[in-house]
Amino acid sequence: MQESRWQSGPVDTANISPVRLQQLYNDVHHPLFLPDADNSPPPYSSVDDPPSRWWDDGAKNILCGHNLKDIELVCRFRTYSDDNLPRKILRIRPPAVLSSFFLSLHGGDRQTVDDLSMNQKVEGIMEKLAPPLTSTLDPLDIQELHELLQKEDVSQSASSLNEASCSAFKRIPFSDWFRSARDPYEVVDLVDHFFDWHGSLQDIVEENPNEMGKYCQMEKLLPECSPARWAVSQGLRRNTDVPPPCHKLIIDELRIFVTRQHQNYVAAVRPLAVLELRFRRMFLNEEEVDWSQRFWTDVDFFEQITTTPPLEIADRLTKLDLKELRLVPPQEFIDDGHRLQHVHKRCNRLCEAIQESIVFESQLLRPLAYLAKELHARRNFHSLIPTLQALRESGFDESVLPELFPLTNTDRNYSCYRQAYEKAPSVPFLPPHMRQVTHCQETGLSQIYSFLAYMNPKSLVQNLGEESSVQNLGKQEGLHHQKQRSRALTWTKLLRLHVARYRKRTK
């Protein structure tokens, strides 16, 4: 198959340093956690050791192991170049191991399974681990494409083009997008067919300059950032240098993930299941694809919740929440500025990341419940309430945390939360305060910025040391409350001055 001009070609990772790749990754993502310094060597560093080889070698190690769940992930996403690799490795495994895998996947009687031949066991295992793809590849019908463009009603023609484009896109599983990103030289039929279809659309537009007025009108009617609109636009302008939006949103993002510096192979494979859930939620579960949204591949929260104690995660979230809120000036809360929008997006992403992690690994419910308790102990409502909302939507038993879930009640503008928030300086959950800002700017802003007097209750106790007496504890708390009152008074004056200037400027 000829390489489609829609494809931007393989990324030369040999000429891009791992540090630069991480910078590119951070430029397009806003991580949920502060990045940690990592001076470990990259898994690959030259043309002789490309990322695809690292993935191939890791797949062999997993397939030779005994963790059936990891083997199933390797086979599902086909992280290897040779499609026969799992069968080759399974055929050299001991018969007892094959019988155990077969029983875990199919069930049945041990004696009956032991009597099966080696090929029967291997094929039975592969039937479950890597079932054949059900999507059939239709031949590229150029005549049908001409008929779609020749409809008299331009709006109907644009609608039909977009439906055909969405249909071709939704037939491509996430594993095929990953394979295309992992090894740009590998031929992935469904992905190549998708690019060829839109490349043919671009050719037809270029070859019919007499229909330029119709195609210009069609371009305006097609959804913004859709591949069909891109193909028509490039046909009108005869420009083939810019990759299509879908290619930029998905394959380039996955290439960044493929070339990232992972701790080990298992830490790279397991997040693929989380990314697959995210891909389905963003693109496949909706009737119409929203081409404008960017597919992000960071799995910071999943990596943290599976490797780090909830206490440390709560500290990191609190530290980052305070850092971001301090960067939002008062005017942003009035005008809904871009920094405030970034804070809201990060809050929503935390909720989505928790849901994705629970769907993949239900055993994470227990550490997530501990995380909610630690966030509450630190009075960090900014991350606590999204965590509780994600647990509720995932079917978590609310009776396990009866004192926390009432905070998510939206009655009377989150009255339960606001009562708890007013007891002491806390990291605020913004939606109820934003409603107050719309009615009374000074009161609403004063309540939001009371977090500037916040001090982590956990760190306050830890800083006292084990030998501190009750008298020292009272003295420390007294100094802490004096600082709180001083900060609150200072910021109340500044907020009043800011609101007065804003009113004077708007008159």
Contact 390, 351 (CB under 8 A): yes
Contact 252, 21 (CB under 8 A): no
- For 452, how many CA atoms within 13 A lie in the half-sphere containing its CB? 21
Name residue, tokens 């330029």.
212
3-state secondary structure string, 240-303?
Answer: CCCCCHHHHHHHHHHHHHHCCCCCCHHHHHHHHHHHHHHHHHHHHCCCCCCCCCCCCCCCHHHH
Bridge partners, 380 (sequence order): 427
Amino acid at the residue 97? V
**Whole-number pLDDT of residue 1:** 42
**Whole-number pLDDT of residue 458:** 58
Spatial CA neighbour of 303 closest among 329, 264, 249: 264
Q: How far apart are CA 337 and CA 330, in angstroms?
A: 10
Q: Three-state SS for 427?
A: strand
Spatial CA neighbour of 456 closest among 367, 351, 385, 376: 376
- For 211, how many CA atoms within 13 A lie in the half-sphere containing its CB? 17
Q: State how far Cα 301 lies from the chain centre.
A: 9
Q: CB-based contacts of 465: which residues, under 8 Å, 6+ apart?
A: none
Q: How far apart are CA 84 and CA 194, in angstroms?
A: 26
Please give the chain's pLDDT, 507 residues, in tens: 444 444 444 444 444 444 444 444 344 444 565 444 343 334 443 334 456 788 888 899 999 999 999 999 999 999 888 889 999 999 999 999 999 999 999 988 888 988 999 999 999 999 988 876 655 556 666 777 878 887 878 888 888 888 888 888 988 999 999 988 888 778 888 888 888 888 888 888 888 888 888 888 888 898 888 888 888 888 888 665 555 666 667 888 888 888 876 667 888 888 899 999 999 988 888 778 888 888 888 888 888 888 889 999 999 999 999 888 888 888 888 888 888 888 888 888 899 889 888 888 888 899 999 999 999 999 999 999 999 999 998 888 888 899 999 999 989 889 999 999 988 888 999 999 888 888 887 788 888 888 777 766 655 434 334 333 333 434 444 444 444 445 444 545 555 555 566 555 555
Burial class (CB in 10 A: 0-12, 13-18, 19+), 90: buried
Q: Three-state SS for 173?
A: coil
Q: How far apart are CA 76 and CA 275, in angstroms?
A: 13
**Whole-number pLDDT of residue 417:** 93
Residue 49 phi/psi, 5-degree rounding, is -130, 70
- For 310, how many CA atoms within 13 A lie in the half-sphere containing its CB? 18
Contact 153, 147 (CB under 8 A): no
Q: What pTM was computed for the model? A: 0.75
**Whole-number pLDDT of residue 121:** 93
Give one DSSP letter per residue of 10-54, joined into a string: ---GGGS-HHHHHHHHHHH---SSPPPP--PPPS--BTTB-HHHH
Q: How far apart are CA 309 and CA 222, in angstroms?
A: 48
Rg (CA), the chain: 28
Quickly count helices (H) and strands (E) in the chain: 27, 0
**Whole-number pLDDT of residue 257:** 86
N- to C-terminal Cα separation, the chain: 67
